[in-house]
Amino acid sequence: MRKARERDLAVNFVVREEHLWSVARYMPGSLGELDSLGLSGSEIRFHGKTLLALVEKAQALPEEALPQPMLNLMDMPGYRKAFKAIKSLITDVSETHKISAELLASRRQINQLLNWHWKLKPQNNLPELISGWRGE
């Protein structure tokens, strides 16, 4: 990120975002392991040693210094049940009023509502399903 800011470039022009994700997830210990994660030759040549140094630095951190794992909506207990219940209500309203269920609520909008309900992601506005004409 620092290199991207210094050079006024998008992060993907320095090292591809999905490659940074792979490095963070698998914590490689060698340039060969970076290659096996799919990093390009130029990424390894220009940034490989820096990435490995960052991995080493991260591995040296004490457990309490690590950030809390991010909660994923799909991993929440009761997610499937809640999603199906909301989808069922939407289908009922859709059939009753002869309106497309997709027009009433998309998968993204249902997930947005559940994220808001479980406070998984900070949101400044109410979810689309409980605001505007859908909330009436």
- 18 lies in the same domain as 59: yes
Global pTM exceeds 0.75: no
Q: How far apart are CA 111 and CA 118, in angstroms?
A: 10
Q: Identify the residue whose tokens are 């050079």.
A: 7
| Residue 122 or residue 38, greater confidence | 38
The residue type found at 121 is K
Opening angle at CA 123, ends 119 and 126, nearest 5:
95
Domain of residue 90, residue span: 73-135
Q: What pLDDT shows up at residue 72?
A: 85
Query: Which of residues 65, 82, 98 is at a domain's end?
Result: 65
For residue 124, the domain's CATH number is 1.10.150.80
Could you report the per-residue pLDDT of 33-84, keeping only the tens digit for each?
A: 999 999 999 999 999 999 999 999 999 999 999 888 778 888 889 999 999 9
Contact 29, 49 (CB under 8 A): no
Strand, coil or helix: 68: coil
Query: Which of residues 65, 99, 115 is at a domain's end?
Result: 65
Number of domains within the chain: 2
CB within 8 Å of 69: residues ≥ 6 apart: none
Q: How far apart are CA 23 and CA 98, in angstroms?
A: 49
- 117 lies in the same domain as 79: yes
Could you report the per-residue pLDDT of 14-33, keeping only the tens digit for each?
A: 788 899 989 999 999 999 99
Q: Output the six-digit token pair for 75.
A: 């991993």
- 59 lies in the same domain as 78: no
